[in-house]
């Protein structure tokens, strides 16, 4: 549950890269709760979006995330940009 909360950016990236490496090298499934949208989009292959305790949508991150989803679920205007075939907040 929120593995990078209260960490400075250097340690946040270190933790996320460690989890990414464990996923790839040891074929481990990593399940985590993230409220940091940038990290969630960057590091998740699959997402489940929950609002007020109810599942809004789930699926492959690249297929379900959109500007509209963030506006509807989180009440924030964001712009998703694509770089190297990945979306970023």
Number of domains into which the chain is organized: 1
Within a domain: residue 70? no
pLDDT digits (tens, 9 = 90+) for 74-86: 998 888 888 887 7
Q: What is the pTM for the complete model shown?
A: 0.80
Bridge partners (DSSP) of residue 58 are 48
Within a domain: residue 50? yes
Within a domain: residue 78? no
* Separation CA 22–CA 42 (nearest Å): 16
Within a domain: residue 75? no
pLDDT above 80 (res 88)? no
Q: Which domain holds residue 25?
A: 9-63
Within a domain: residue 69? no
Handedness of CA 6, 66, 76, 31 (dihedral sign): negative
Within a domain: residue 25? yes
């Amino acid at each position: 549950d929120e593995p990078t909360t209260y960490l400075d950016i250097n340690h946040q990236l270190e933790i996320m890269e460690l989890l990414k490496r464990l996923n790839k090298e040891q074929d481990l499934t990593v399940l985590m709760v993230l409220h940091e949208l940038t990290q969630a989009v960057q590091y998740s292959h699959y997402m489940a979006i929950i609002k007020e305790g109810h599942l809004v949508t789930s699926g492959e991150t690249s297929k379900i995330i959109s500007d509209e989803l963030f506006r509807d679920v989180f009440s924030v205007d964001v712009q998703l940009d694509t770089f190297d075939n990945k979306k970023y907040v």
